[in-house]
Amino acid sequence: MLGVAGVAWAADHPELVGFDELMTSFVKAQRVPGAALAVTKDSRLVYARGFGLADRARAQTVQPTALFRIASISKPLTAVATMQLVEREKLALDASVWEVLALPAPSDARWKRVTILHLLQHRGGWDRGSTGFDPMFQSVQIAKTQNVPPPAEPQHIVRYMVGRRLDFDPGSRYAYSNFGYCLLGRVIERVSGVAYEAYVQQEVLAPLGIRRMRLGKTLPAQRADDEVAYYANDEGTGPAVMGTVGERVPMPYGAWSLEAMDSHGGWLASAVDLVRFASAFDVPATCKILKEKSIETMFARPDGAAGYDARGAPRALYYGCGWRVRPVGRGRVNTWHTGSLPGTSTLLVRRHDGKNWAALFNTRHAPDKQRLSDKIDGLLHKAADGVRRWPSTDQFTQLL
């Protein structure tokens, strides 16, 4: 039972027609060029389909294994890599990132109190929401201050930020920070002695049989094999940060540097890759990449204002280590992450009942300007709840 816009590689299962109907109608109604959805149940891949066009100019349809920029869904990968190094006693959660990276003397002494755990939980002290400043999108400005050609690379951004004041005391509250996860990428490299991408591929992805994930490139000429094209339907153009700096370019292709976003937003993955990663934590005792205690820590409630409101009551949802977390009772949690960049909207969900899914889109916004990941989130939960009988076969081997 396949909608006209879809391409299926996993076996057809009539009981999953609700996912077909949802995605086919959603792609059409929200004017989405292309999308992919994969679903697992009890660690088995039961659904994987592509919808619409991967490339309009070439009239290429989206395959279930098409690669998309996953944006901030990169953060759970970085969190797992960091937790592995803690497990292996090469790093401590309470270690000072300033000391681990042997950074120069900071302009703000509070830098020395920022820990690895603070970074994982977005409590490091940087608040782009209140200041409007995210250094990961300031390539030209930062390159100029560091006397290097744009775009600024991660090491230049770190050096620049050491010279700035923090926005709040480390650990005192939550504020989402791409820069914090940029720092974690550098920590992984320094502690492991391996380049960030190589470490994640070798130690996080390979044990799960994930072989095609890689860091993406900014410019269309460097597009990976099987990678979709990206469309900023409502976002227009921006000044280039590479090539002819300042020239107007399409927002997904050169108005910011994807390479600099490696550990917080730079990965390419298919929907199938992502649900394979998500299902690794379905049964913590048998997880191939983290020990049960580390998984518990990864999803644990943070201390203080990040995990509790002003009255001391637990918040209904919080950010753990690389995942958003919502307790649902009896020690169970739903965990998820979204990703968003011009031309990209992504969603990865892990449910307490053994159901996981990844939905990827090659544009960011619906016609009403809402992010596609937000718009489809509740609809996918409803579609999953509507399945009365789940397939018992695993389709992973067909999609290797």
How many CA atoms are closer than 13 Å to the CA of 124, on its beta-carbon side?
Answer: 29
Which residue from 397, 198, 358 is spatially nearest to 278, judged by alpha carbons? 358
Which token pair is 1? 């039972």
| pLDDT for position 4 | 35
What is the SS3 assignment for the chain?
A: CCCCCEEECCCCCHHHHHHHHHHHHHHHHCCCCEEEEEEEECCEEEEEEEEEEEECCCCEECCCCCEEECHHHHHHHHHHHHHHHHHCCCCCCCCEHHHHCCCCCCCCHHHHHCEHHHHHCCCCCCCHHHHCCCHHHCHHHHHHHCCCCCCCCHHHHHHHHHCCCCCCCCCCCCCCCHHHHHHHHHHHHHHHCCCHHHHHHHHHHHHHCCCCCEECCCCHHHCCCCECCCCCCCCCEEECCCCCCCCEEECCCCCCCCHHHHHHHCEEECHHHHHHHHHCCCCHHHCCCCCHHHHHHHCCCCCHHHCECCCCCECCCEECCCCEEEEEECCEEEEEEEEEECCEEEEEEECCCCEEEEEEECCCECCCCCEHHHHHHHHHHHHHHCCCCCCCCCCHHHHC
Class for domain 6-68+271-399, per CATH? alpha beta
- pLDDT bin (cut points 50, 70, 90) of residue 7 is low
Between 4 and 120, the higher pLDDT residue: 120
Residue 322 vs residues 129, 145, 308, 338, 376: alpha-carbon distances, Å: 19, 31, 18, 11, 21
What is the Cα–Cα distance from 306 to 375, expressed in whole angstroms? Answer: 26
Amino acid present at 23: M
Which residue from 195, 227, 229, 194 is spatially nearest to 213, judged by alpha carbons? 227
Which token pair is 111? 């830098």
- Check pLDDT > 60 for residue 142: yes
Backbone angles phi, psi at 347, to 5 degrees: -145, 130
Which residues have C-beta within 8 Å of that of residue 51, sequence separation ≥ 6?
Answer: 3, 5, 6, 7, 23, 24, 27, 32, 34, 35, 36, 37, 62
| pLDDT for position 2 | 31
Which token pair is 242? 């590479």
| pLDDT for position 14 | 85
Residues of the chain with pLDDT > 90, as a percent, come to: 92
Residue 85 vs residues 50, 80, 89, 137: alpha-carbon distances, Å: 36, 9, 6, 28
For residue range 365-392, what is the model confidence (pLDDT) as tens digits?
999 999 999 999 999 999 999 999 998 8
- Check pLDDT > 80 for residue 261: yes
Which residue from 71, 62, 74 is spatially nearest to 5, judged by alpha carbons? 62
| pLDDT for position 398 | 58
| pLDDT for position 5 | 43
- Check pLDDT > 80 for residue 394: no
What is the Cα–Cα distance from 189 to 81, expressed in whole angstroms? Answer: 10
- pLDDT bin (cut points 50, 70, 90) of residue 1 is very low
| pLDDT for position 233 | 83
| pLDDT for position 36 | 98
For residue range 186-198, what is the model confidence (pLDDT) as tens digits?
999 999 999 999 9
| pLDDT for position 285 | 97
For residue range 8-45, what is the model confidence (pLDDT) as tens digits?
544 567 899 999 999 999 999 999 999 999 999 999 99
Residue range 287-297: average pLDDT? 98
- Going from N- to C-terminal start, the domains of the chain cover 6-68+271-399
- pLDDT bin (cut points 50, 70, 90) of residue 395 is low
What is the Cα–Cα distance from 206 to 19, expressed in whole angstroms? Answer: 29
> Picking from 260-264, 295-299, 325-329, 388-392, which range would have the lowest pLDDT averaged per residue?
388-392
User: Average pLDDT over the chain, rounded to whole?
Assistant: 95
8 A C-beta contact, residue 80 and residue 348: no
| pLDDT for position 108 | 97
What is the Cα–Cα distance from 78 to 84, expressed in whole angstroms? Answer: 10
- pLDDT bin (cut points 50, 70, 90) of residue 3 is very low
- Check pLDDT > 80 for residue 300: yes
How many CA atoms are closer than 13 Å to the CA of 2, on its beta-carbon side?
Answer: 16
- Check pLDDT > 60 for residue 178: yes
Which residues have C-beta within 8 Å of that of residue 324, sequence separation ≥ 6?
Answer: 317, 318, 335, 336, 337
- Check pLDDT > 70 for residue 259: yes
Residue range 316-343: average pLDDT? 97
